[in-house]
Structures are given as structure tokens and as C-alpha cells.
Amino acid sequence: MSFSGNQYPNFADKVITTRGDIIRGDSSGDRERYGIGAANTVLTSDGTDPDWAAAALAPTTTKGDISGYSTTQARIPISTNNYSLLADSAQALGLKWAASSTSTLTTTGDLLAASAANVLTRIAGGASGEILTGNGAGVLPTFQAASGAAITVLGRDTLVSHATSMEVASFTAKRYLQILTNVVPRTSGAVPDDLSYAFNGDNSSGNYSRRDIFNDSETTAVDQNILRIEGGSGTLIPRFASLWVVNIADQQKLCFGTSMRGAVDASTAPQNSTGAGLWDNEADQITTVTYSSAGTNSMAPDSELLVLGWD
């Protein structure tokens, strides 16, 4: 059996009439012509007969669009730059675009937080020195100025050569001060002796008084030009002292301090002085501290005066 270009030689020319026609069986099983469909239609089946139907083209129309589905295909338009695609069963197509960490954070130092359940928000970076502070449940934290109790280094003076005194001048006034001193003695020559404090350059008005205990011996002094809280005579031994001051402008400046001096070696116990003093000034806050020795140039390099403060 052979064909000469026609698979259906019997009456096929009476069935197919147009380019693109196809042959299908009718309800009786006879051949019949099924004409070519419209442009962009595809041949489908309705369960009984073949049928031309519109092609299920992607619904996207714009760069970045994606295709979603509910009961039919539908377009999900491209969103804002840096947004993220999230699953969301409440949406008709089950997806939604939402802000991401990249889209929320805009500036160096920003922090990411939740303003509500699953809602991102930006906390702008605080000013220098501010700290992130909680504001209670359900409220975003904020950057706030550091608490007044924060201790601040107001200044220091570290000697690079032999000197008679050290000074930290013109620092910011604080309500409370702690003054630390570390005196390195010379290896020879004048010894650190009668180490004392003066405030705001006041060293000649008789405005200081003190009461101190050195090795169980109590000493008092009034109408002094300087504040000295250290007993014993000078020696070539390191000294360390700490003085606490209530620095309120309209009150006497009450001071409490302790100082110690080292020993030659561990076979000898160090010596200690503890005392209270005051500066009778009820108008000014202390903004300059001078620490002096009666021994000329008796403080060696690396001796240091450090002033700390807080409100």
C-alpha cells in the first residue's frame, strides 16, 4: 500500500478546503473538516471534541512582573526597590510585596525594630554619647542623653619632666568630683612632701580646713591656704591618693579623701591617711584642681593627676 502525498485518498479533497484545516471524526465517526483556529489560539479538548481556544499566555506586562494564581493566572506587578516578596494567605494571589530591612534602613547607624507584629521600622542612630533606652512594652526604644550618673574624665595632667605641681584647669563643672593622684618620686634629691590640693587657684585666702588621721594619730588644721590630707614626712616612696568632693556652687565644698604611701619592700607595711576637709566657697563650682608638693621638682615623670566628674 502506498500514498501519493494524500493520506486520505477517498474524498479527502472534499473535506479539507483551506490551508491549516485538520480532519476530525464527527459524532457518526465520519471524517469532517475542522477549520484552522484564529491566530494565537491552541488546540484543546473539551472532553468530546477538539477545540480551538485562546492560549494561556503569561499575564505579565512589565519588567519585573511575576505570575500568580488564585483560580486563574494573574499578574503580580513589580514593587518598590528593595522590597521583598512575602507569602500572605490573606492576599488574593497568596503573595505580597513588603518593606525589607534593606528598604527600611536608610542611614549609617540606623537600627531595625518592630513597631507592631511583623512590621519593620527604623530607629535613627542617636547623637554621639547617647544611649538606646527602653520606653516600656509596646513602645519603640529611643536614643537619649546618657544618664547624669555617667562618670566623665574631666581632665588629666601626666608629667613628662620633674615638677613641683600638677594641674587640671578649666574643666566642665560637675556636681561630684573624684580626684586621683599618683606621685612618682625622684630617685634622688627633693622628696614629695606636704602634698596638697588647691581649687580654682585659691591658695592664699585661708579658706580650707581639715581633720585627718595618719597611722591612728588625728590632726586638725583650720584657716589653711591649701587642703592637705596626708600625714607623715616626705620620703622617696610612691604616693597614691583619692579625694571625693561635693561640688555644688552654693555650698561649702565638702571633701573626703584617703592617701597612701608605699614601702621600701614587702617587709614593711604601707602607710595610710584618711581625712575630711572643706573649701569655704559658696559661690563657685570647682573647675580647676592643682596638686602641689613642698619639695621643689620632687614629682618625677609619669606622675599623674586625674579628675573625674558626674552629676
**CATH for 152-310?**
2.60.120
Res. 31: pLDDT tops 90: no
pTM of the model: 0.57
pLDDT of residue 12: 47
pLDDT of residue 118: 80
Res. 100: pLDDT tops 50: yes
- Confidence band for 233, pLDDT divided at 50, 70 and 90: low
pLDDT of residue 2: 54
- Confidence band for 24, pLDDT divided at 50, 70 and 90: confident
Coil/strand/helix, residue 13? helix
pLDDT of residue 215: 78
Residues 290/189, Cβ–Cβ less than 8 Å: no
Cross-strand partners of 89 = none
> Distances from the Cα of 203 to the Cαs of 207, 247, 250, in angstroms?
8, 18, 20
pLDDT of residue 71: 85
User: CB-side exposure of 16: number of CA atoms within 13 Å?
Assistant: 14
Residue 306's CB: how many other CB atoms inside 10 A? 19
| C-alpha span between 302 and 161 (Å, rounded) | 8
Name the nearest CA neighbour of 198 among 177, 228, 238, 157.
228
* Chain position carrying cell 518598590: 80
Interval 148-165: pLDDT, tens: 567 899 999 999 999 999
| C-alpha span between 311 and 309 (Å, rounded) | 7
Instruction: Map out the domains of the chain as residue ranges.
Output: 66-144, 152-310
Residues 310/203, Cβ–Cβ less than 8 Å: no
